[in-house]
Structure 1
Amino acid sequence: MKQTLLILFLVFPFMALAQLQESFSDGNFTQNPTWTGDVTSFIVNTQSRLQSNGPAVTGTTLQLVTPSQAIVGTTWEFWANLKLATSATNYTDVYLVADKQDLNAADLNGYFVRIGNTTDDVSLYRKDAGKSSVILINGQDNTINSTDNVVRVRVTRSVNYEWQLSIDVTGTGQSYVSQGVATDATHKSSGYFGVVLKYTSANSKNFYFDDFTIVDAQPPVLEELQTKTPQELILTFNEPLQPAAAQTIANYTLNGNIKPTIAELQSPTTLRLVFGQNFKTGSNTVTIANLQDLYGNVLNSPTTRNFTFVPPAVLPNYNELIITEIMADETPAVGLPAQEYIEIYNPTEKVLSLKGIKLSDATATTTLPDVQLLPSEYAVVVPTTQAANFTPFGKVIGISNFPGLNNSGELLQLRRPDGKLIYAVNYSDAWYKDAAKREGGWSLEMIDVTNPCAGAGNWTASKDPKGGTPAQPNSVAAANPDNIPPTIVNATAISATQVLVRFNERLDSTQAATITNYGISPTIAVSNAEVQGPLYTEVILTFSAPLQEKQLYTLTATNLTDCSGNLNSQPQTITFALPSLPEPGDVVINEVLFNPRPNGVDFVELVNRSNKYIDLKNWQLANTSGDTISNLKTITIANYVLAPGQYVVLTSNPENIKTNYPAANTNAFLKMASLPSYPDDAGTIVVLQPNGKVADRFSYSSEMHFALLDDVNGVSLERIRLDGETMANNFHSAATTVFATPSYKNSQSQEGMATAQVFEIEPQVFSPDGDGIDDFTTINYNTSQTGLTANITIYDAQGREVHKLVRNELLAANGYFRWDGLKQDGSKATIGYYVFYIELFGLNGEKSEFKEKVVVGGRL
């Protein structure tokens, strides 16, 4: 194309194509301008007029042409004298516009004026390639009906493509009469101007022409603007442009200050502009200055043209389409239709195609329809049947099988048709941060849509009075950037050769999958690192050698970045161990709150009293119905490893427990959807291992509480001795100074003691006042034989019986009994000395007697 244009410009330099003025006063038509065609059949006569001089043969057709690219905003004028009676075989066509040098070519396109015909008129025609001529302006009949027809013709074509034909039969140019007007823009380029004669033999020398003039006094006009690519414009003008000005980059400006990198003429009327950056999506402006046509007509002032750019729709990549609002619990409705919905948002400058994108929750998947989402545009996704109800709020996408959203939370995903992840969010009702709004009618809204990687910290309950802002910017919108690098939450060995590492936020999956970023001590080589989708908060590390049980390992992670690009410059460490298979009694019930305060909740605390690391994944909590274990509840489906001596608190509402017992360790809670029923009066707590074996069992009753407590609500029962049996004698009410000790050492705990003799008292002085300091005493025993039974009776200093503590109790090899300082009638023993009278009976009836002193103390 460039070579063709260059040849064209060289053959027809713009100065040579200046407005035509031909009076033949120089006596020839071979130069200034140059005419071609049947040049031997024309002469310039003594009157300096062009005269036909062709062969005297009927049916002869002659033509004479000269270059002309004038096409619009132009006036054509000429004088003609046909000294003959015009007819269907004697007439002339004056081509104002022609795209071929051969005016008789069948594929010619152009416009011409015909003088003469069967109706002896002057009319304007259009010629289309391969077709018959079409009349545009039908001149008045019989205006040239003599044998000496003089006429001056003037034709104008405006920049709006309106044609006007006028004739002056006096030939002076002083008495023009309009023959009509017409609008036609079929042909918009020209290469030639010329005349065609058709005659019978007697009229070969009877055609005379003079004063051909073509005047273009209008500057070029931009007719069409097209965006060919996101950085390329094609401008089409109504007439050929002067090449030097057209290809001057300084003459064009995009959006007020952007100059093109390329300005190139692709044809005389078509200009290509290329810019170094993409057009804005939506409205853009291009300004054009200093352009001129081939005849020197320059734009009087800069021309500005607005255009809208909408890039082709593309499928979104990761985080290029995000979920920004979730209405999971729609009732009671606040001000919106009572319908669950999901809001999606396009944070890019692209036009996104949603066709085939999969929207999934935990149990179902639906496909979005063929819809486009513009840059920074929101849309609400609802069931098709509800679409009309949401139309007033903004863009609505109706789908036939909208997934039901869990009120408490679940994982939502957007995936491309090829399965690649676009976005995932695992919302929770805890994200409302407002107990009242969590009850329904309010949506969860993303705070900062430019921070899609964030979790709970970037979501909260809507503030809009309607309860939400579907298909609109969120009511809670604010800057909430992520400037904090990721940290390790925990690490759990899920097999002998793999450890699952959890982070507090989404990771850059490329960095997280680099094995050199991890180290293990004692040293084991990391052979693979696999980032777990769709949230990318977990990494599974695979080792080249197996881990050893009961060995504590330290994991070090370096050079990890989060989804937002924040790098943790300091190495992070965390410990983990390979869990061992549990045995019953390894993990036991350590504390129970079955009678919470008003508006409080129950909890069960477990403790690992073994030297193993034990994973609680798929363990269960239960109660009993008669003699049957029932109402089983899974503690956790995730890995949760208890280290030796570690506590864990099981409850349905950790926040409630932490509020009532502020000293609780936040990290030692496992939230369960619900606990089995544990009545206030009495019940049984059962802990089951994944293999169904009973890990521990505790039958409690309200009678086990210290009898002198005024109010036992909110007071837990605590295990006294970690290595003791899970039985009533080994539990006591928590100290009234704390009421309960969830997640930390029991207020009434007591270390086991090795007795040097059969019976020893510890402590020998105690104060049963519920303050957690020596609230009871223990009678510890250690026998050398089994099968012994015991009676223990308590006497005061005056020898009066106070309490029958033990009757016919079968003893283990070692153990203890507990006295809480209460007399037989439930009243508190007074301050003073007391004696334990102990009777020990053997299998053969032999009897031993022991007396041990104890002091009941207190405030006077």
Structure 2
Amino acid sequence: MRENDWAFDGNGWQLDAPDAGDSWICFCPLDSLSDAEGRSLLFHWSQPFSGSSQNFSRTHLIQRPNSAWNWESQAPFPVSAWVVNPVIAELDIGHFLHLGESGSLDSMRWMQTNSNEPPMEIASAASPAPAGEIEHWIRWNQSTDSVSIDFSAHSTPFEWHHAMEGNANNQPDCIGFSAKFTASHAADFRIEIGHIKEHEPDTIPPFVVRSLWLSDQVLALHFNEPLSPHSGVGTWAQGDSLFFAPEMHKSNRRIGLCAGDFPEGQPQILTIHGLLDASGNELSNPINQVLRTSSQDMKPHSMQFTEIMFDPNPSLGFPEAEWIEILNRSESFHAIADFVVLDGSSETQVALSPEFGWDGILAPGERAIVAGCDFRINGDSVHQAKGIPWPGLNNAGESLMLLGKDGSIADALHFTEEWMQGSNNGGVSLQITDWNACNSRSNWGPSMHPLGSTPGMVSYQEGPNLSSQHPLTLSEITPTSSSEGILAFNQPLDPLSELIMIGIQAGNLNHLTGNDSTIAWKLHSLPATKKIVFYAHGIEACVQSERSSSKWFIQLKTHRFPEFQDLLITEIAHQPMGATEAWGSFVEVTNVHPSDSLELGGLTCNNSPLSGRIVLAPGARHCFPEINLPNTSGGVSIRAADGTLIDEVIYSNCWHRQRMNEDNGKSLVRLNLEKGAHGSFNWSSSMDSRGCSPGTSDPAEEQLTLHRLPLPVTCGVFHNRWAILFNGPVEIASDDWDPVFREECGSWAGSLEANQLWAGPSQFEPLEGGIAEMTWGDGVTTIASLCPSSSFVSEDVVCDFTLNEIQQLKLNGPEPFIEIVHSEHPWISTRLLQWTTTTSPNPSDWIFVSPEVQWFISQNTPTAFSRCPSRWFSQGARVIPADLPSLWGNRELQLARSGAFLDSIHLHPNHDSPWSTWHHLRSLERVDGFNLPL
């Protein structure tokens, strides 16, 4: 024995050789065995591949060598050779079982060794496994000289098949094991010894292991051990006989032909007579239940999905594994292996294989879970099958179908994460409610069990007929375009019902995934008139009940569907509080078409759909309620059902012209209802006594507003491109210029309006010709006139910016700003310019004046920075949006560049004129070229 080649694993010995070669091991009982009795040997042989001339194994059955045998240097049997070594020729007759020669369908050969002669073949048998590998128990039954060799049908010694038989001419006392191997298989052989003992007569009766239908009428019965040649006979409970066909010698199978059609799904009693095992023992279970299952022509919900764990992490009690629960709601027994689960997202067909000793039969009312894991999810009492291959369940949603072998649908389900009703943090399953209702969103929800799920068990949430039944009625017909629309019903609909549109106008009907009580229609061609007529057929309620009609007659005449700015957004309640809290957040739209009423069906406001059909007359208004709107700044868009933009507003609380109104709950209202761009110039606070005016015109609309001149304010560089800031939204028709969106910038751009900041050509190109030379509203100002000839403007100068004017933050005062100016150079940029009002500031207390845009400011051009520049634009001011340091109370405002001090001013009440009764509204302005007074 090469001791270092073999490792004990607790039950057997595993080869673990360092390199290629051959090796052996031998087992002999401590006590001698009687020669008068036969032998009973049991061992497990493991070779997990088909052998070859260079990779094979042998099991040796020999008599005990004499006590002088040198075990360390010589095996008492031929390890890998086909001739007997002269050293072992003196030993008694021995035997070995050999497996592995060609590597293809090799047989197991029983060889006998005898003195100096080559090994002689006694018998052979097909390999226990079809590919030539072996992972089986072998038993040697020897009562006298005659030996019967059987192998197990599985890796456990439970069901025995006859392999071969012959005469041994001696009685082995020891079991040896040897292997020849290449380096790639140096750890691929194993032997485990069950017992080596005197033969004991077989007194244990055989029994039926399982039944298997080979065809519609041919039944095979498998027994746990080889049988005697007697064929036997079976009788059914109703009196019919089952005759068995002759079988091979010592076969452990009997095949019978059933007369007539055998009932499916219901166990039948079969009594077996006259069957004996090879030792003459009668059958221990002559009365058996025989079941023939089928998954052909499955009816909906006969086998039903009842619970789905698609997001098991984190676990609330059960192991973290995905699984699907299936309930047998039919009156028949079903085999889980007869079905497949079709995963829609991956298009995977998942085979179902019973595990952990379960035979795979689901009786009526029983349930099982299907998982991809190799461990039990909920104890021994729960049936569990493995899904092969397991596709994984999508947390965002999944389509699942349970199919019979003929493709018939036993159940189908398409769920999304919204079905979890907010309980989608993991560890909670999706649970059905009413078994008799359809698989719609209304019939599923999160499990309420404390452990998050009930795998393989009945949940108190589920059962039959838990939903109320009402006649199905059509609630509303809503057109969403000239050829499309929605039918809304009074209850959820069956998503598997087959919908058919009948009428002169061809089209189709479809279930809407987001609303299980609605059906969408679509005509393939536009009607010659605005009249739509068709029948909707095949619509079924999720909960079956009586309904007023088998098909629904649809007839309506549509009005104009809104196009761009036929509807205008005219009021935005973005921060309701106080008196306006009763109306909540809403968005008002107005029909500004001069003559046509508008169909609002299918419109969405910030993805919030409008429910029902609404026809809006010219000049009439409608409110979208409960729209989620940011308080400070945000966007509102109205879109048609196909996504076409109807109107859009990018608003800011800076649009309240009086700073005191931005936090008091008042809504924003549009002042002029003519079509065109939205901007702060055309919006202001509601002047209604309620603080808002939903559905009606607002008194603020009667205010006369100054005509806005679209003017560029200043020039800079944004992300290596020339940039121009305007005093409101403008349109530039040029391939070189693009609007900069608020989302592309930091917090300083919170008040930036749509199309107010534009980025143009590369900063390395001069601004000349075309858009750069075009004059704007005043007929004089051009983009080029506000920009230096080159973007490379030095900020490393001796005379830099100074503070020129400050509007402090005061109660009910005007919008705060900080104004700077320089007087010594043609242009200076704001790059690396910082300010702070913190006493003894740390580096983190300094705020960049313009962190993302390098603004260019010309000589002697005072330029202000403010959070809400729009509140100063009406005065023609040059103001840039920015984050300001705190300007409230007594503070010192400091200005610096790259850490170098530039200017400062102390802000306190003594700087105001004490004799002025409205001094708190005034700013503080530099009056000479020296520092501001302290």
Interval of TM-score (by shorter of Structure 1 and Structure 2): 0.3 to 0.5
What TM-score do the two structures reach when normalised by structure 1? 0.40
What TM-score do the two structures reach when normalised by structure 2? 0.38
Larger Rg: 1
